[in-house]
Structure 1
Amino acid sequence: MRDPSSQCCCQPMLDEFQKSKFALHHDEPGDFCRSQWQRGDRSIIWLLYRWLFAAFFAGGVLASCIQHFNEGTWFIYLTDWGFVLCFYACTYGAVVATIYFIRPSYFEPGSWALKIYWASHFTTTVLALMITLVFWTALYPSMAGGPIGLYNLWAHAFNSVCMLIDCFVVAFPTRLMHFIYPLVIGLTYGIFSLIYYFAGGTDYGGNHFIYFILDWERPGLAIGSVCGCIVLALIFCVMVFWIYRFRIWIYERCVQPPTEVMQTREAPEKVQRV
């Protein structure tokens, strides 16, 4: 039997580069409805956690939309797209957890409801991290001086913090090949900003662009920004994957009984001998 400890530390990531890992299928539907750390099949604490997260983002989205609606320009910003996705993913997770708490056998392997949740959670996490980094490094320094403000913290900092915490407590896996989903959202927004520019749209301040780094009057800058964001998104996909692997590493050593760990590791070897 091959000793798992002798494997390269990068082997889990190398194993991800398979065609099957693009799919949104997972054999255990309960993993999408539970926490990695809960005891037992159902947990009222987990259910409360899920709804508190949903309420947190619901309050932020509602307050920011009311305060910054400005004849609909609220909807043109990637920040607000990401904010809405945070609300959507967390609320979706709360609904899934509630259904499971009431009726654990409701979801079946391959359920489309769970596939949508899996893709949206990963996409939202990667997008939140990218929004946070780009805002504080490229956009905020160019803004007029003054207090940071609750909205900036809520939409450009708390979003990433909350989604990273969620990545560390959920029970479902992360697939590196799911990078295609945040990539599609990013490219969709880039195309939207181009269409918005040609349609004569303006930003909150009346400028003929949404963000100055997406000013299509300077196509080199805009294209470079889109390409840079794609690279950042891919880097964050890898980062989120390793957060998942770190979570499993801690779980196997601190929570999961040693017999279960050995069974998990020996299963592939048994399949090979059949």
Structure 2
Amino acid sequence: MSDPSTESCCLNLKAEFQTSKFSLYHEDPGVFCRSQWQKAERNLIWVLYRWALAAFFAAGVTGSMVQDFNGFQFIYLTDWGFTLCLFTCTYGAVIATIYYFNQSYFAPGHRALQMYWISHMELSMLITTVFWAALSSTMPEVAGELYNLWCHAFNSICMVFDCFVVAYPNRLMHFVYPLCVVLIFMVHSLIYYWAGGTDIDGNRFIYFALDWARPGLAIGFVCASLALICCFSLVAFGIYRLRISMYNCCSKKKEEVPTSKATPKESSPTV
């Protein structure tokens, strides 16, 4: 006899591979404005958390520009990703604040919520993995700097943690959106090379592994990055399913506690 939980898991996974799952429409706008773990419809701690996360990324972006602004920040995928994290977290803080004061403000399928959903992508995990696996060895003098850790480690930690506390679902078919961002960056790097652009040290490439003077290496790096972003989309979906399982498990335990306490009273004789 097959395990019902296994069948349910397979059905959920199978349901993800449908064209409708490419859509950014969701019937419940509240899931984008609440935490999976809050009990009430609105929660001040959740709003404060969202603003704290936005402040964390704002401090990183602002600190980078104030400390060492040279115009080269905008050519790197790291800065693209970190700025996207800032946008996502600030945007999330704004909609959480709006929802806190007016729960009926957002209609189902509201474009503001769709923009938020599409921006919360797996780019930070890709940036962290690619940097520490392929790029950190080419720049050992900066690998241990605080800002570098901020951009290539803390960003992923924060965004993965956020995946465990948000309430909206993750769709496997949404892998196309971070994939498009990576493709746009790769095209940008090629155009930058053709235009004679250099990095901060005068090299004719943005990253050593993305040197279009050696097209074989660059194309291999592009293919590996695209494959990785697909893998991380699967990881993000796994985190979402794990979050739901954890929530259901915790909810079930809370429901069982009063029942287990009431049982002895029911069985005890009355005097």
Taking structure 1 as the reference length, the TM-score comes to 0.89
1:53 maps to what in 2? Answer: 53
Q: Structure 2, unaligned stretches of length 5 or more?
A: 257-271
Measure, in 2, the Cα distance between the counterparts of 1:132 and 1:240: 15
User: Partner letter of residue 55 of structure 2?
Assistant: A
2:80 maps to what in 1? Answer: 81
Q: What is the deviation of 1:64?
A: 1.0
Measure, in 2, the Cα distance between the counterparts of 1:158 and 1:4: 39
Question: Does residue 37 of the first structure (1) align with residue 37 of the second (2)?
Answer: yes
CA contact (8 A) 1:68 1:74 kept: no
Question: Does residue 205 of the first structure (1) align with residue 201 of the second (2)?
Answer: yes
Q: Structure 1, unaligned stretches of length 5 or more?
A: 260-274
1:243 maps to what in 2? Answer: 239
1:215 maps to what in 2? Answer: 211
- The 1:228–1:159 alpha-carbon spacing in structure 2 relative to 1, beyond 3 Å, is same
In the comparison of the two structures, how many residue pairs are matched? 254
- The 1:239–1:214 alpha-carbon spacing in structure 2 relative to 1, beyond 3 Å, is same
1:270 maps to what in 2? Answer: none
Query: Which deviates further from its counterpart, 161-170 or 10-19?
Result: 10-19
Question: Does residue 140 of the first structure (1) align with residue 136 of the second (2)?
Answer: yes
User: C-alpha deviations, 1:48-83, integer Å up to 9, x for none?
Assistant: 00000000000000111222321x111100000001
Q: What is the deviation of 1:144?
A: 3.5
Superposition RMSD on alpha carbons, in Å? 1.7
> Quick one: percent identity of the two aligned structures?
58
2:91 maps to what in 1? Answer: 92
- The 1:120–1:146 alpha-carbon spacing in structure 2 relative to 1, beyond 3 Å, is closer
1:62 maps to what in 2? Answer: 62
Query: Which deviates further from its counterpart, 249-258 or 12-21?
Result: 249-258
1:224 maps to what in 2? Answer: 220
User: Partner letter of residue 107 of structure 1?
Assistant: F
Q: What is the deviation of 1:6?
A: 4.9
Q: What is the deviation of 1:145?
A: 4.1
2:269 maps to what in 1? Answer: none
Instruction: State the SS of the aligned residue for 1:15.
Output: helix
2:117 maps to what in 1? Answer: 118
